[in-house]
Amino acid sequence: MRPYLAGNTQALEHLNSYRQQKWLFLAERLTFVGALGFYGQQVLAGEGEQRYFSNPQKVAIGVAAASLLANVFISRNTNTHFQRAVEAHNAGWPAARGSLFQRVSPTAVGLTAAPTGQPQLALRWNLR
């Protein structure tokens, strides 16, 4: 998408923010999975009776909970940066490069009579 936004600095800034949010999201996911893996390793590491709430396990649970809380804040605004980049890009387009539907829409719509006398829909386009 960067080649399309090359001339629009505001859209590029929003796209850079989007990339930063995605990296934060990936780092948060790795932290969460790492904390769960560490907790599982601590539970299964000892011989004999398994312990589920020792001090290292408490830390792992806390890190996993903090990671989930951070995920809420990271995920909340990730896609808004991408939407802002697209909106900034679209705002810079001239009206002549609008949507295809606007370019092919008819200039006049009406009813006309066929040679058999039945009504027909009449559409007219102005060629530019």
Residues 6+ apart with CB under 8 A from 16: none
Host H or E run for residue 116: none
pLDDT tens, residue by residue, 37-69: 999 998 888 777 778 888 999 999 999 999 999
pLDDT tens, residue by residue, 65-120: 999 999 998 888 888 888 888 888 778 765 445 554 445 566 777 778 888 888 88
End-to-end CA distance of the chain: 31
Amino acid at 61: I
Predicted pLDDT at 96? 43
Whole-number percent of the chain with pLDDT over 70: 85
Phi then psi for 51, rounded to 5 degrees? Answer: -110, 135
Please state the pTM of the whole predicted model.
Answer: 0.62
Residue 24 and residue 73 in contact, taking contact as beta carbons nearer than 8 Å: no
Calculate the average pLDDT of the chain. Answer: 82
